[in-house]
Amino acid sequence: MLLESVSRLAKKQNFVSISIIKSLYYKKGLIDKYIMPIIKAQKKSVRQSARRKVFNDRRRRAMREVVKQVKELVAAKDHKGANALIPSAYKAIDKAVKRGVIKANTGARKKSQVNRIVKDIA
């Protein structure tokens, strides 16, 4: 998808310009299927959504990485290490919920799953 390319391109940047988006459309041959916005406010909303996607992807990736680390420690039967990572996993999940990356019930379910798998190896 186009926005995935934008997020890869702008991982370290906090700004995605219209020229970057246009160049991606031209490269992928999507310019025939998609018309770039003409109105100034629409152009701004395209930039905003691309920038927000970068931030949301970063938050989602951080959450998934911490949960994955906990699962790896659980697989290695390292209760002490997994227990030490629970607060950081909760923090990442709560931040994702706060920013609207995931819904509140999904966050609660993920926290419950992390707690359950750590408790199971105790």
Quote the CA–CA distance of 13 and 15 in Å, as a whole number: 6
pLDDT at 50: 86
Range of lowest pLDDT (11-20, 65-74, 90-99, 100-109)? 11-20
Residue 73, SS3 per DSSP: helix
Domain edges within the chain: 2-120
**Global confidence as pTM:** 0.69
Tokens of 82: 């997994």
Fold of 2-120: Methane Monooxygenase Hydroxylase; Chain G, domain 1 (1.20.58)
**What is the Cα–Cα distance from 8 to 36, expressed in whole angstroms?**
20
pLDDT of residue 33: 55
Whether the predicted pLDDT of 10 surpasses 60? no
Q: What is the pLDDT of residue 105?
A: 98
